Structure 1
Amino acid sequence: MSIEVGSKLQGKVTGITNFGAFVELPGGSTGLVHISEVADNYVKDINEFLKVGDEVQVKVLNVESDGKIGLSIRKAKEAPPSPEQRRPQKRGPRKDDHGRPQRSMSFEDKMNRFLKDSEERLASLKRNTESKRGGRSTKRG
């Protein structure tokens, strides 16, 4: 039996390691379900989810040239998204800093606004640091 990437198959767990589980597939071939592909949430101990002899449905992730087969249990369970989930969310108009709807700005407008804001911030920073150091007009002596 030819094993193709993306196909869902029924298999039997034949061995468990600390990094995953080996699953025997129809036709006698064996693939590996990595521990990260066992469940949707974090799996610390794979023995909490699988036991040798369990029948599991797996999805073929990859078949390498040397015969290694990568499998996933969690992707075999995934249902296709419903039409409501696939539809992009409608967003309202973007708001500016004051909560007003923002009009689309040209690149030049955006650049001018950035430069103005940047100069204001630099001036404020300079004022604050000079007052703490004594500024330029202060005589030392």
Structure 2
Amino acid sequence: MQLEVGSLVTGKVTSITKFGAFIDLGEGKTGMVHISEIAPTYVNEIRDHLTEGQEVKVKVLTVGTDGKIGLSIKKAIDNPPPAAHSPQKPFRREGGRGGADFGRRNNESMTFEDMMNKFKQSSDEKMYDLKRSVESKRGSSGTKRGAKFG
């Protein structure tokens, strides 16, 4: 069987690593599905989506001259949902670091521009607080460093 880029084939998961899964395509050929090609959503743990021995439908992305075969499960899905980073959809941040809240507030979605404005405002406030803090530690006598006292 000659594998061509773009073809859909069925294979069996032979092993799972932290960066992807290896798929036995038959006839002694093995390909790899990178973690970013496992599912149309963010994949933190591959074992949440695949198990060893599972049969999967994959799309051939690359066939290297060195014999390496790049595969995708998410591109083999008939109707994948639109990408999460689509500019048409509002971006939501579920959590994380930082003082700014970029998530939903009062059940309304924020556009990218709204988020940028909120981030800029938050950043300006933090810079102002930082400057004020540094000046208070130095003392606000109005003298510059290295100035001679008379």
TM-score, normalised with respect to structure 2: 0.52
Unaligned runs of 5+ in 1: 81-141
1:79-118 superposed Cα distances (whole Å, 9 cap, x missing partner):
39xxxxxxxxxxxxxxxxxxxxxxxxxxxxxxxxxxxxxx
1:40 aligns with 2:40: yes
Q: Tell me how far apart the structure 2 counterparts of residues 2 and 75 of structure 1 sit (CA, whole Å).
A: 20
How does 1:7-22 map onto structure 2 within 5 Å?
7-22=7-22
Higher-Rg member (1/2): 1
SS in 2 for 1:2: coil
How does 1:2-81 map onto structure 2 within 5 Å?
2-79=2-79
Residue 90 of structure 2 is matched in structure 1 by: none
The alignment's C-alpha RMSD in Å is 1.2
Residue 139 of structure 1 is matched in structure 2 by: none
* Matched-pair identity in %: 60
- 1:78 Cα deviation (Å)? 3.5
Q: Tell me how far apart the structure 2 counterparts of residues 26 and 76 of structure 1 sit (CA, whole Å).
A: 18
Unaligned runs of 5+ in 2: 81-150
Residue 57 of structure 1 aligns with an amino acid whose one-letter code is K
Q: Tell me how far apart the structure 1 counterparts of residues 40 and 4 of structure 2 sit (CA, whole Å).
A: 23
By percentage of residues, which structure has more helix?
1
- 1:28 Cα deviation (Å)? 2.0
- 1:27 Cα deviation (Å)? 1.8
How does 1:90-109 map onto structure 2 within 5 Å?
none
1:39-70 superposed Cα distances (whole Å, 9 cap, x missing partner):
01100000000010000000000001100000
Which stretches of structure 1, 4 residues or more, deviate above 3 A after TM superposition? none
TM-score, normalised with respect to structure 1: 0.55
Residue 39 of structure 1 aligns with an amino acid whose one-letter code is A
